[in-house]
Amino acid sequence: MNFARRSVAVSLLALVPVACSDDEVVAVRPEAPVATPAWFAHFATDERLAFVADVERWFRSQQLVPELQATGAMLVRGGKQGAEEFDLELLAELCAGAPRGEWLGLIDAQLRRVVAMRDALASVAVMSWQDAQDRLRLRIHPESFLEEGGLKPADVAGAVDLPGTVTLAFVDGEESATVVSRNSLERWRQATVGVLAIALVNTRRELEGKLRVDPQDIGPLGTLYAITSGSYYGASMVLDLDSHDEMLGEHGAIVAVPTRDAVFVWPFDDLRVKDLIPALYRLAGSAADRMGGELDRGLFWRRPDGRFERIEIAEAEGKLEITPPPDLARLIVELGKR
């Protein structure tokens, strides 16, 4: 949609029309006091004005529908609609941690991402369930993915399978994939759990012939399985380990998903897990650096019941501090007594 750029800008500070050119920014203070937006805390007073001016300049420079411009103009008032839709809090954090000269670039990149996400969600929202269901796919993303797109977990068809990540249903298109929104679920009269299950089945089917499973001999530690596919959907196969009995031990498995295309799985049977965890942690970090498309550098215990728990690992001065989840810690103690 193309709309002529408005010659009158809306001041983010006062929501009062201010005549100005494209290169001119006029800050007008509100006549009546308004609630202090949460993002104010990130800046000194003079920086707040500069940040508002840069955000205002971006909205004036874009050929956006008037409603979108107006929503953006509400940001500074701390209104929920604008703040949540464009995630001003995250934008303020990004700019506050960067040199002043980089603000416009950060604002442009972040707000373009949010607007693109909006448009993509709108396109899926009008799609029928009959058209959408065969195109559903499953992806795992870092939990920051939603925040960066100006979305909340309640806005989308998703779940937290691996703590620190989010599992999302997407509608796959010829050029891009779009996350399934809560509005689409309501329109289709489908539940999140059902859509995610269909997406996993479809993803498994799509990756047939592409999925590569490499059993790697890692000496005294046994066998480590590497799963790759050349697809951004590849990491979701960590949720399909029940289809690979050889990868699951008596106590489940220790897994890593360092990139969107790679899964490492070690069948967990015995006390060797104590040596495996630090070795696999370093391998996962190396894979994330080498392969690109980083997803998560951590490790997870895939329990025999199918649930995942994160193994907390901190690194300082080349040494690892490993804190297993309580049930895993107790299991390791029991294995040591056998």
pTM equals: 0.66
User: Which pLDDT band, with edges at 50, 70 and 90, does 78 fall under?
Assistant: very low
Domain boundaries, the chain: 8-122, 126-203, 212-337
Hunting for tokens 């999925």 — which residue is that?
Answer: 211
Please give the average per-residue pLDDT across 50-73, as a whole number.
Answer: 67
Q: Which helix (H) or strand (E) covers residue 88, if one does?
A: helix 88-96
Comparing CA positions, the residue from 174, 176, 238 lying closest to residue 203 is 238
Per-residue pLDDT at 301 exceeds 90? yes
List C-alpha distances in Å: 76 to 47, 80, 122, 329.
13, 10, 25, 48
d(C-alpha 294, C-alpha 39), whole Å? 29
Please give the average per-residue pLDDT across 167-182, as a whole number.
Answer: 83
Mind listing the pLDDT tens digit for each residue in 268-299?
A: 999 999 999 999 999 999 999 888 789 999 99
Predicted local confidence at residue 73, as pLDDT: 53
Cα 74 to the chain's mean position, in Å?
Answer: 26
| Mean of the per-residue pLDDT values of the chain | 80
Predicted local confidence at residue 263, as pLDDT: 96
Per-residue pLDDT at 112 exceeds 90? no
